[in-house]
Amino acid sequence: MSERAPDLAAAIPDGSALVTMSVAGQRFGIPIERVRDVFTITEMTPVPLSRPDVAGLLNMRGRIVTAIDLRRRLGLPEAAAASARTAVGIEVEGDSFGLIVDRVDEIAAADPTLADKPAHLGQPWASLSRAVHRRPDGILIELDVDAVLALDSPSHA
């Protein structure tokens, strides 16, 4: 399954949309313009001696994609069972990444008037998030994609 998320941005008039996802029971969002696609991981090649949050490499329609386990990157508990894994495809400066998540939920409008980050937000949340959105269905943490993908920074695993 692959879906071009930017094509869905037309549903949100001002373009301030987030692709929302769940990881270990926590809801996260990524600005829709940063998402290349959403896909199911069918086969992955492990990378020996890599960081714990680098799950492996994927061949995605001819491009090499580095799979990042978002649970490990955020210091969240491991999944109970390995089932079909979903990833959100991101490109940064010509490099392709897949953020492994439990599921992708929806495309949601981001309300900039409600976007704040509490001062007491602990690590790694403070360094890897842009904002915390209060929504009728709960809290949504907007991830800072560049910080999450800064593989030269210490892992939070």
| Mean per-residue pLDDT of the chain | 81
Q: Where are the alpha helices (DSSP H) in 33-83?
A: 70-73
Rounded CA gap, 1 and 93, in Å? 25
143: region left, alpha or beta (phi > 0 left; psi from -120 to 50 alpha) = beta
Query: For position 133, what pLDDT does the model report?
Result: 82
Q: Using the predicted structure, report yes or no on whether residue 95 has a pLDDT greater than 70.
A: yes
Query: For position 3, what pLDDT does the model report?
Result: 45
Q: Could you tell me how many residues make up the chain? A: 157
Residue 81 pLDDT grade (very low, low, confident, very high; cuts 50, 70, 90) = low
Question: What pTM, to 2 d.p., does this model score?
Answer: 0.81
**Sheet bearing 103-109, strands edge to edge:** 103-109, 17-23, 26-31, 138-143, 129-135
Q: Using the predicted structure, report yes or no on whether residue 77 has a pLDDT greater than 50.
A: yes
pLDDT in tens, 9-60: 444 545 579 999 999 988 999 999 999 999 999 899 999 999 999 999 999 8
Q: Using the predicted structure, report yes or no on whether residue 1 has a pLDDT greater than 80.
A: no
Which structural domains are found in the chain, ordered by start?
2-148 (2.40.50.180)
